[in-house]
Amino acid sequence: MTLTSHPMWYRFSKNKIGMISVSIIFILSLLAITTTVLSLDRIYWPMDPNLTNLEQKLLPPGSLHWIGTDHLGRDVFSRMLHGAAISLTVGFTAMLVSLSIGVLIGALAGYCGGKIDQILMRAVDALLCFPTFFLILTAVALLGPRLINIVVVIGLISWTGTARLVRGEFLTLREAEYVYAARILGERWWKIITKHILPNTAAVILVTAVLGIPEAILAEAGLSFLGFGVQPPQATWGNIIADGKTYLLDAWWLILFPGLAILITSLSFYLAGDCLREATET
C-alpha cells in the first residue's frame, strides 16, 4: 500500500477545506523558498526588500508597488515574501524541536508509568503554570533576538501539549495485546516503544505537528512586533506591522496585508490540522 492510497490520506483528499488549506501552504512555501534561493544570488523579485527610496515612501498599492511602500520607500510585497521565509522557517524548525522533546517525554512517561511518569508530568505541570509567550519573551530577551535563539526557545518551551497527548496514547497502547506479547518475547523496552507503540501514535503526532506550526509562527510574529524578534533590516511580518503602527491612519496597507498574511497562514495550518484529525478519527 502506497502512502497516498492509505485510507486516512484518501479521506483527507476528499475534504475540500483541507485541500484548499494545503494548497495555500504549498503556494506560500514555494514562494518563500524561491525568494530565498534567488536572494542567495542577489536576485530579488519583484525588487530588493531592503532598497530604500525616500521619494517613494508611504506610497499606496499600485502597479509598481503592488501593496505599497513603507516609511523608507521599501516595497512591502518584497518584504512580505522574505518575511514568509522567516515565519515558515521558525514554524517548521521550532515544531521539530518541540515535537522531538514532547514525543520523548510523553513516551517515557506513558510507557514507564510510576515515579517516572509522576516526575515528568509534574515538570510539565510546573511549566504550564507560566504563560507560554511570557516565557518565550523572557528567554529571548535574555539570550538575544537571533533567529537561532528564537527557534530554540520556542521549541524548548512549546512541547508540553505534545507530551500530554503522547503520554495519553502510550498509557492506552501499553496495555495492548501485541505489546504484552512483545514483553513476553523479551524485547527491550526501547524496541517496544519505537517498533510497536510509536507507529500507532503517528496519526496523533502528525496532527500535533501540523497544529504546532502556526503557534510558532504567531509567537515569532509577536516577538518581532515587540522588537524582540528578528531585527531590522531583515523583514518579518511582525516587524512590518510594528513599523506600520505609527502610520496607521496614513498607510493602512502596512498593517492590513501583513496581518492578513499571518491570519491566512495560521488559519490554513489550523484547518489542515483539524481536517487531518477528522481523517484519522473516521
Residue 133's DSSP bridge partners are none
Quote the cell numbers at residue 252.
493602512
* pLDDT at residue 224 in the model: 92
Asked if residue 60 belongs to a domain, the reply is: no
Asked if residue 208 belongs to a domain, the reply is: yes
Chain centroid to CA 137: how far? 17
The alpha-helical segments, DSSP class H, found in the chain are: 7-13, 16-40, 76-112, 114-128, 132-143, 147-157, 160-173, 177-184, 189-191, 202-226, 237-244, 253-281
Asked if residue 56 belongs to a domain, the reply is: no
Structural domain range at position 162: 3-51+65-281
Asked if residue 265 belongs to a domain, the reply is: yes
Q: Do the beta carbons of residue 171 and residue 241 sit within 8 Å?
A: no
Show Cβ contacts of residue 65 under 8 Å, excluding neighbours closer than 6 positions. 56, 59, 75, 76, 77
Q: How many CB atoms lie within 10 A of CB 253?
A: 21
Asked if residue 57 belongs to a domain, the reply is: no
- Amino acid type, 81: L
* pLDDT at residue 176 in the model: 87
Taking alpha carbons only, the member of 130, 145, 143, 123 closest to residue 220 is 145
d(CA 58, CA 71): 5
pLDDT along the chain (282 residues), means of 10: 63 89 95 88 84 91 91 93 92 94 94 91 89 90 90 93 92 88 87 89 90 93 91 89 88 93 95 89 64
* pLDDT at residue 250 in the model: 85
Chain centroid to CA 136: how far? 14
Q: Do the beta carbons of residue 241 and residue 259 sit within 8 Å?
A: yes
Q: How many domains does the chain have?
A: 1
Question: Which residue is listed with cell 514568509?
Answer: 84
For 111, the 3-state DSSP assignment is: helix
Asked if residue 168 belongs to a domain, the reply is: yes
d(CA 282, CA 280): 6
* pLDDT at residue 1 in the model: 45
For 75, the 3-state DSSP assignment is: strand
Asked if residue 235 belongs to a domain, the reply is: yes
Asked if residue 18 belongs to a domain, the reply is: yes
What is the domain-level CATH number for residue 43? 1.10.3720.10
Quote the cell numbers at residue 109.
512517561
